[in-house]
Amino acid sequence: MGKCEQCIIKQFNSLKSLTKDELVRISNCKTSYTIKKGTVIFEEGEAVNGVYCVKDGICKLSKLSENGKDQIVKMVVKGQLLGQRSLVSDENSNLQATALNDMEVCFIPKSEIIADLQKNPKFSYDVLKDMAHDLKEADDIIVNMAQKSVRQRLAETLIHIHNSFGINPDGTLSVLLSREDFANIVGTATESAIRVLSQFKKEGLISTIGKQIKIENIEGLKRIE
């Protein structure tokens, strides 16, 4: 099994601020494994007893409502940590985590890393910065949900996925989502998301190759009001 000290992935998250000794210790207690697409990593209301360092793949953090809708609040991709908040607050998770592709993760038990959080100020400052960033993003989402139309939100979601998660060699978005996933990010009905995407296609803003989406006119998407 790989060692945390030598793992490149940690460069992308707060684990980089741990000392060599801390990393060696964590390396010895971590478990590294694969998660199949569609697997629920943890459920809403569950106590998450550690953090997942995402080495590959992508997952969604979402919340189910009584009527069966599933609002996606955040996506966690390769390089990021999953379950950071539950690490800090002793409360149970308010969100469900589900793998959107096959993932490769390392699980670090809470007991092992919580001490570092309390003793290594550089590490905790790093986690703090991360959390501050997440909070800013969450605030922006609230404002978007309140002030923008489904059409605008969907356009912005496409741009965000394009910019933050990248594209394949053929120009399609590297993160493959179902229409339902898009609806759940934007906070609308699946049919509405489908309709708007069809509209974008008609307007030449995007094109599709099967389920894959390619942004054809990013400036056009940005201009949507």
Binding site for a second copy (CB under 8 A): 61, 63, 65, 67, 69, 71, 73-74, 85, 88-89, 91, 94-95, 117-122, 124-125, 127-129, 131-136, 138-143, 145-147, 187
User: What is the nearest approach in angstroms of a second copy to the Cβ of residue 96?
Assistant: 11
- Asked if 93 and 42 touch (Cβ cutoff 8 Å), the reply is yes
Q: Which residues contact 161 (CB under 8 A, 6 or more apart)?
A: 173, 175, 177
The Cα–Cα gap between 193 and 187 comes to: 9
For DNA, what does the binding mask look like between residues 141 and 180, x meaning CB under 7 A?
Answer: --------xxx--------------------------xxx
The Cα–Cα gap between 212 and 7 comes to: 31
Residue 203 is a binding residue for DNA (CB under 7 A): no
Site residues for DNA, window 63-122 (CB under 7 A)? 67
- For residue 31, what are the CA distances in angstroms to 55, 89, 105, 122, 185? 12, 22, 8, 24, 30
Q: Residue 26 or residue 197: which is nearer to DNA going by CB? A: 197
Residue 207 is a binding residue for DNA (CB under 7 A): no
Question: Phi, psi (5° rounding) for residue 200?
Answer: -55, -40
Q: Which of 79, 171, 187, 220 binds DNA (CB under 7 A)?
A: 187
Identify which of 73, 101, 70 has the alpha carbon closest to the alpha carbon of residue 85: 73
Residue 211 is a binding residue for DNA (CB under 7 A): yes
List beta partners, residue 97.
42, 61
Contact partner, 71, from a second copy, DNA, none, Cβ < 5-8 Å per class:
a second copy
93: its two tokens? 């998770």
Q: Residue 172 or residue 182: which is nearer to a second copy going by CB? A: 182
User: What is the nearest approach in angstroms of a second copy to the Cβ of residue 128?
Assistant: 5
Residues that bind DNA (CB under 7 A): 67, 149-151, 178-180, 187-192, 194-195, 197-198, 208, 210-211
